[in-house]
Structure 1
């Protein structure tokens, strides 16, 4: 389940410290697409739950990626995201990168999403 987080990764890719990590073509969680390989796509690995690999966690932690889960109990999604370094925010928070919901969202909520915020396309 790839999730594009272009804005977060591109903004921080300019510093020399982050360039080392982002430019590693063999990182298991980042695939670069688009013209000149500028659009990062995050790749989630199910085995990350069992291995507790710090190399996989570093992406979510380095870029302070967050998620929130609404109107559903998605333990698998929560485990995958946590294993990849994402942290969960309060359900009323608007500061998140990924929202997983168990029902359809109201159009006004979809209009307020920023470019870096993604929502699951198929509720439940």
Structure 2
């Protein structure tokens, strides 16, 4: 389930009393940047060259944490290709179990309120 990724990645951070630089560990990956105190907030970085290289190491993060996306009311082949190259899998447009939603129109406020903390939506449609 996508919620597990957020918990797993946050648990790799350090306590607030530690001020030392965190050593490199298994979560150091070219597609993850860390922000927040003691590297607690993961940010995924997408690399366009992943489409051409088909590098399995880049796919590792998406596959390991079972990250998913859905595309609604648009046909964004480039977005679909980049997400697939990073190990994300596509879910049905009616599914509510996803990490990223790419939409071609503005969302209704009630849909935005139903998003969980780990679900993200593109800010500008299309």
TM-score by length of 1: 0.85
Provide the rounded CA distance (Å) in 1 between the counterparts of 2:58 and 2:71: 21
Q: What is the count of residue pairs matched by the alignment?
A: 113
Q: Select which of 61, 64, 82 maps to 1:62.
A: 64
Provide the rounded CA distance (Å) in 2 between the counterparts of 1:20 and 1:58: 15
Q: How far did residue 9 of structure 1 move? A: 3.4
**Equivalent residues of 1:10, 1:38 under 8 A apart:** no
When Rg is computed on C-alpha atoms for both structures, the one with the higher figure is: 2
Provide the rounded CA distance (Å) in 2 between the counterparts of 1:84 and 1:108: 30
Higher relative helix content: 1
Q: What whole-Å deviation, never above 9, does each CA across 1:16-35 have from its counterpart, x for those lacking one?
A: xxx9531x2xx210001101
Q: CA RMSD in A?
A: 1.9
- Any residues of structure 2 matched to 1:1-124 within 5 Å, and which? 8-13=4-9, 14=11, 20-22=25-27, 24=28, 27-124=29-126
Runs of 4+ in structure 1 off by over 6 angstroms are: none
Distance 1:8 1:43, change over 3 A: farther
**Equivalent residues of 1:8, 1:116 under 8 A apart:** no
Q: Where does structure 2 lack aligned partners over 5 or more consecutive residues?
A: 13-23
TM-score by length of 2: 0.84
